Amino acid sequence: MAIKLTISFSARGYELDSYNHINNSVYLNYFEHARWEFFRQLDLYNFLKENDNLPVVTDVHIRYQREIKLFDELQIESFCIHEKPYLLFQQKIMNQTTGLGSARATTKLIFIDKNRIPMDVPAEILSRI
């Protein structure tokens, strides 16, 4: 069974571009933050650190839908599946202020060990997702 986790936060002033909305590159940061929160909420961050397993992004596809403005309340849903040897994250940003979707992304991660050798997703992670 797969897990879906959600985080919430507000858009910040230092993320604005010259058009006075959130710069498109910041969406990558939003999605990354949500993935780390995904691991943290499943109590996997310490496991990764203690076992020298590091998730590395190999591919990202973002579909921008609508702009995000300063102080908009945002929610990111993250859903994760295993496609050996990858973890595949499906994520979407919902703008709670407007009630509309702002972006969606598919991100592929592979894990590397302490010697930076690619490996399959650790069993401990698979057991929690």
Distance CA 20, CA 2 (A): 37
Verify whether residue 17 is a known catalytic residue: yes
CA distances from 70 to 29, 31, 74, 98, 113 (A): 16, 18, 11, 12, 39
Which residue out of 17, 52, 59, 113 is catalytically annotated?
Answer: 17
Q: Is 28 helix (H, G, I), strand (E, B) or coil?
A: helix
Q: Is 39 helix (H, G, I), strand (E, B) or coil?
A: helix
Distance CA 37, CA 31 (A): 10
Catalytic residue annotation: 17
